[in-house]
Structure 1
Amino acid sequence: MVKIDDLIGQPFQDGGRGQETFDCWGMALEVYRRYGRELPDYRISAMDAQKIGDQMATEAPAWVEVKQPLPVPCLVVIQLSCVSWANHVGVYIGNGKFIHAYSKTGVIIDRIKRWQSNIIGFYVPRGE
């Protein structure tokens, strides 16, 4: 497993893509980068649930849904708002936990079980 401890506690910032602030997609980009996988960047406000959902739906063919989270990295797709199919992501890190950047907490490790009712599914990039 790659090192992610340094991400924990970093503050949430809309559009955060850097070493000191992250939004949920920025944090997912960073974790995947550490695993040697580059993902496309989408510059959509973390507060625009509808645009995020539309973009996620458009990009869905690039991902394969898996029944159970696979060894990392595996995207955890979450619905926080009923205005779209999904609008939040995290990355599964094993043992029933995932890392994500959330506006209320910053970057944290959370339990899948706690978010189960909001989780749409688990996804890996197509071709992996």
Structure 2
Amino acid sequence: MIKYDDLIGVPFKNNGRDIKTGVDCYGLAMEVYGRFGIKLPEFFADYDDSDKISNIIHGQMDSSVWREVKPPYPVPALLAIRFGVPSPIVNHTGVYIGNSRFIHIREKTGVCIENIHSIAWRHVIAGFFIYKGQL
């Protein structure tokens, strides 16, 4: 069974890829997938560059790199999350870890685990995706 305790509270760092110094949402996804023996492709986008993040994530989701899945969700599965006003765009990722839970990072609190069905998240999750060759 994969453990995540050592990730809880890891701080946010823009373009971070090291759990000792901090990660961004995609850096965390790379770490979690790595614990399953899956190496994700790299990309960098500044935290404040929502258009670039949306284009890259959305572009990857539409390509042969990722495939959208429906319930029951496999573990791990990448969550595409939409934030923004007035029109939300995909600019955040998390990783589904089973039992209706996902792990992600928040700028102010660091890495945390939350429920996909909570009122805060159920309306902003745009989809669940698996990496090519994962299953």
Normalised TM-score (structure 1):
0.92
Q: Which amino acid aligns with 1:39?
A: L
Deviation at 1:6, TM superposition (A): 0.3
More helix by share: 1
Q: What is the RMSD computed on CA atoms of the aligned residues?
A: 1.5
**Corresponding position of 2:80:** 77
Q: Which amino acid aligns with 1:109?
A: I
Deviation at 1:46, TM superposition (A): 1.9
2: distance between equivalents of 1:41 and 1:4? 21
Deviation at 1:84, TM superposition (A): 6.1
**Corresponding position of 1:63:** 66
2: distance between equivalents of 1:84 and 1:63? 21
Normalised TM-score (structure 2):
0.87
**Corresponding position of 1:9:** 9
Paired positions, count: 128
Q: Identity over aligned residues, as a percent?
A: 45
Deviation at 1:9, TM superposition (A): 0.8
1:122 is the counterpart of 2:128? yes
Deviates more, 1:77-86 or 1:88-97: 77-86
Q: Which amino acid aligns with 1:88?
A: H
Q: What do residues 47-101 of structure 1 show as CA deviations (whole Å, max 9, x unaligned)?
A: 2111000111221211111112523111111001256641101001111110001
**Corresponding position of 1:94:** 98
**Tell me, what secondary structure is at the counterpart of 1:86?**
strand
Q: Which amino acid aligns with 2:97?
A: I
Conserved? CA contact 1:74–1:91, under 8 Å: yes
Conserved? CA contact 2:74–2:98, under 8 Å: yes
Gap regions ≥5 residues in structure 2:
none
Gap regions ≥5 residues in structure 1:
none
**Corresponding position of 1:51:** 52
Moved over 4 A (4+): none
More strand by share: 2
Q: Which amino acid aligns with 2:36?
A: Y
